[in-house]
Structure 1
Amino acid sequence: MNNKERFIEIYKQTIHRDGSEKLLEFLLSKNSDFFDAPASARFHGNYDGGLVEHSLNVYDCLKDYLSRERVQSTYGLKYNEESIAIVALLHDLCKINCYKKGFRNVKENGQWVQVPTYEYNDTLPYGHGEKSVYMISGYMRLTREEAFAIRYHMGFSGSEDARNVGAAFEMFPLAFALSTADMEATYFIEGKK
């Protein structure tokens, strides 16, 4: 099973909220490059299909984190399968249609050569996490905790005011869990080899 098939299977098995079918239709349409896009221009997942792969990695990391005994018994973090799938699989919708293939010059063995790269061009510069929340909300309602988790999934590595990040993590623990899963996927699973 490839990443696109796995994403669709998880999505259809776990996400049943009103509007979820229309959102999946959009992701599969010619108006979206979700299944072909990279996850970044130069870092993790900077290859065709990197975005869907990253989304699945975050899903796996979040499921693993939330299944830990300490997380459940000591911290009391328990979420339903639908919420887990929504925040993990959809947290980076903001990256749809933002990366275009291009070239950049690099020096190899003393010679300048052109190498393929991605250029970032966001035609809807609404922020990162907040743009994903905005895009999802056009199709289906998010719970408050889901919206805050997606909004603050970059944690302290984003450009947000650190006080807001800390407050969001305290008020909405799913935000902390998603941020942890996103960082694990980004730096440990997809990091530079």
Structure 2
Amino acid sequence: MNNKERFLSIYKDKITRSGSEKLLHFLEEKSDFFTAPASTKFHGSYQGGLVEHSLQVYDCLVDYLERRRVKDVYELSYSDETIAIVSLLHDLCKCDVYKTQMRNKKIDGQWQQVPTYVFDDMLPYGHGEKSVYMISGYMRLTREEAFAIRYHMGFSSSEPASQVGKAFELFPLAFALSTADMEATYFLEQIKKNSSMKNTPE
């Protein structure tokens, strides 16, 4: 099962809210969600990186919420649908914003033209807030879901730290999603890079 197939399987199984089918149609037929990178040169900066990252965040969030301390001490509990929505769709804002350009790069001492991604957002509405805006055009989010997606960048965003902290305090799902996003970005992506380097012939 490839990443697109797995995403569709989880989405159709977990997300049944009114409007979810129209949103999925948009993702499949009217956006580059399943082929887009997750960034220009950082995590997931390759074709299909966005859907792969979204699935990684889903896995990390499911695992985080299964921890005994999270369940018994923090008493966090969310429906399968909420977990799928906030993780699979948190970076919807990255649809249709990465374009390919050719740039010169020195490879083995020779300059060569190589394709690179550049960021070109025709709907500059922010990051987390843009994802909330796009999702809300198709289906209704709960307040906690909206805040979780809005603040999933956590303290690495340009938001005032006090504002991020308040959002985490009021909506613990926002902290959980931010933690899952960082784990996927800084751990899973690094593991993949290291594995790729080990398998590259010298």
The TM-score by the shorter chain falls in which range?
A: over 0.9
Aligned to 1:5: 5
Aligned to 1:17: 17
Aligned to 1:134: 133
Please state if 1:39 is matched with 2:38.
yes
Please state if 1:162 is matched with 2:164.
no
Q: Alignment partner of 1:72: what SS?
A: helix
Matches of residues 37-186 of structure 1 in structure 2 within 5 Å? 37-186=36-185
Q: Alignment partner of 2:182: what SS?
A: helix
Return the offset for 1:162: 1.0
Q: Alignment partner of 2:129: what SS?
A: helix
RMSD: 1.0
Return the offset for 1:83: 0.3
Q: Alignment partner of 1:9: what SS?
A: helix
Task: Identify which range, 111-120 or 162-171, moves more after superposition.
Answer: 111-120
Distance, in Å, in 2 between the alignment partners of 1:105 and 1:152 is: 36
Q: What is the one-letter code of the residue matched to 1:11?
A: Y
Q: Percent identity?
A: 73
Q: What is the one-letter code of the residue matched to 1:28?
A: E
Q: Alignment partner of 1:159: what SS?
A: coil
- Cα displacement string for residues 67-104 of structure 1 (whole angstroms, at most 9, x for unaligned residues): 00001101111111000000000000000000111122
- Cα displacement string for residues 32-56 of structure 1 (whole angstroms, at most 9, x for unaligned residues): 0000000111011111111000000
- Cα displacement string for residues 107-159 of structure 1 (whole angstroms, at most 9, x for unaligned residues): 33443322221011000000000000000000000000000000000001111
Return the offset for 1:184: 0.3
Q: Alignment partner of 1:190: what SS?
A: helix
Question: For this pair of structures, how many residues does the alignment match?
Answer: 192
